[in-house]
Amino acid sequence: METFGESTATAAPPVAELHLHIEGTLQPELIFALAERNGIQLPYADLDELRALYEFTDLQSFLNLYYANMAVLQTEQDFADLTRAYLARAAAGGVRHVEVMMDPQAHVSRGIALETCVNGVASALTTSEEEFGVSSLLIAAFLRDMSEESALDVLEQLLAMDAPIAGIGLDSAEVGNPPSKFERLYRRAEEAGLHRIAHAGEEGPASYVYEALDLLGVERIDHGIRCMEDSVLVDRLVAEQIPLTVCPLSNVRLRAVDTLADHPLPAMLAAGLNVSVNSDDPAYFGGYVDDNFAQLVAVHELSARDRARLASNSVRSSFAGEARKAELLAEVAEWEKAAGA
Ligand SMILES: [Zn+2]
């Protein structure tokens, strides 16, 4: 592939991005552009004032800004523009397949119609492979700090409108909102034939990872880094090769780890865990997938072979069809050959 000439010289292999919140790709520049288009008065005088707020102390301090900024997303066009901006940037950084999470409740609760957010994001994803060479799926993520009734209500509406979603996820404030709160939601999603993933073990304890697996029946764990505190859990995750979608820069920004040098990713890889590298909320956490790889490589010993393994893990752990997976695994192998040469 043409676009490969460059990327072989960089730290990042071609990957599937499995942990990405579309609302977290809202860049400060786009916030100002959309505010102007929609006649919204922002509480910040300029870009610098907004950027100064991106120093987070924990997950909640980030979520406060995250939800406030969403106010600029009003129309289908806004959601489509947001999604296309992400796809263009991600494609340039080596993303070849993406499973985009969106938070419908975060929009419905501020008066945006479900159709507006779903159709806006979906319209950009429909042309993503053709336009950017990035195949894609949409995942509806539910806010764990809201009630299960609210999640079930939105899921029923999504099913009734035949929304193009491939699965459901669970995100937002983790501590105090264990997976066990959402057993009925996940049972309903299973009945509806949807894939199931959930954030667990980011700020919350290792026990939340067990709950997500055993009570919700998830196929992947988002984050999961705190599994490293429980060797029995690590053994199980290795034996079952449960995918963990790790987001190193996010963990540093939200203070789940002190510095990137302290990040457990290399240890997780060495333990035989099925880990991949993802950007989570790249506009807020200082980088896209390729930035995560570049910064990891700058502080950790990660050979081209390690990086190729992270990339092939991401492809195999995706919900892409078998033919697409085979295509992308061949690209990863080609990258590894070129990078190792
Ligand atoms: Zn996340």
* 8 A C-beta contact, residue 298 and residue 254: no
The residues pairing with 199 across neighbouring beta strands, listed in sequence order, are: 222
Q: What confidence tens digit (pLDDT) does each residue in 179-206 have? A: 999 999 999 999 999 999 999 999 899 9
Res. 10 pLDDT band, cuts 50 70 90: low
Measured in Å, residue 130 CA sits from the centre of ligand 1 at: 27
Coil, helix or strand at residue 173? coil
Give the pLDDT of residue 1: 37
Q: What is the pLDDT, as a whole number, of residue 56?
A: 87
CA 2 – ligand 1 centroid, Å? 32
Write the DSSP symbol of residue 54.
G
Burial of 266 (0-12, 13-18, 19+ CB in 10 A): middle
Per-residue model confidence as pLDDT tens digits over 201-245: 998 999 999 999 999 999 999 999 999 999 999 999 999 999 999
For residue 29, give the H/E element and its range: helix 28-37
Least confident stretch, 8-17, 62-71, 203-212, 240-249: 8-17
Beta-carbon contacts of 103 under 8 Å, excluding residues fewer than 6 positions away, are 21, 23, 141, 142, 143, 171, 172
Q: Does 78 show up as a binding residue in the annotation?
A: no
Ligand 1 centroid distance, CA of 187 (Å): 22
Q: What percent of the chain has pLDDT over 70?
A: 97
pLDDT tens for residues 281-332?
999 999 999 999 999 999 998 999 999 999 999 999 999 999 999 999 999 9
Nearest to 87 by CA among 100, 69, 73: 100
Highest mean pLDDT among 49-53, 62-66, 165-169: 165-169
Centroid of ligand 1 to alpha carbon of 240 (angstroms): 22
Percent of the residues in the chain that have a pLDDT greater than 90, as a whole number? 88
Region 140-148: what's the mean pLDDT? Answer: 97
Higher pLDDT, 79 or 10: 79
Query: Is 202 part of the annotated catalytic residue set?
Result: yes
> Quick one: pLDDT band at residue 167, thresholds 50, 70, 90?
very high
Helix (H, G, I), strand (E, B) or coil at 198: strand
Residues 6+ apart with CB under 8 A from 56: 62, 65, 253, 254, 255, 284
Q: Which residues pair with 221 in a beta bridge?
A: 198, 244
The pTM (predicted TM-score) of the whole model is 0.95
Neighbours of 110 (CB within 10 A): 12
pLDDT confidence tier of residue 5, bands split at 50, 70 and 90: very low
Q: What is the pLDDT of residue 157?
A: 98
Domains of the chain: 12-340 (3.20.20.140)
Which strands make up the sheet holding 135-143, listed edge to edge?
Answer: 15-21, 95-102, 135-143, 167-171, 195-200, 220-223, 243-246, 274-277
Q: Was 19 annotated as part of a binding site?
A: yes
The amino acid present at 336, given as its one-letter code, is E
Q: What is the pLDDT averaged over residues 18-31?
A: 96
* Nearest alpha carbon to residue 328 among 5, 100, 15, 116: 15
pLDDT at 4 over 80: no
Cβ-contact 102, 140 below 8 angstroms: yes
Q: Are 188 and 155 in contact (CB under 8 A)?
A: yes
The annotation status of 263 as a binding-site residue, yes or no, is: no
Helix (H, G, I), strand (E, B) or coil at 8: coil
pLDDT single digits (tens) 155-164: 999 999 999 9
Which is the catalytic residue, given 17, 99, 174, 202?
202
Give 171 Cα–ligand 1 centroid separation in angstroms: 6
Query: How far apart are the CA of 56 and the centre of ligand 1, in A?
Result: 15
Residue-level pLDDT at 8: 40
Residues 163-202 as b/e (b if ≥16 CB within 10 A, e otherwise) read bebbbbbbbbbbeebbbebbeebbebbeeeebbbbbbbbb
Please report, for residues 2, 90, 97, 198, 301, the alpha-carbon distance to residue 287 in angstroms, rounded to integers and kept in the order given: 24, 10, 18, 22, 20
Question: Separation of 127 CA from ligand 1 center, angstroms?
Answer: 24
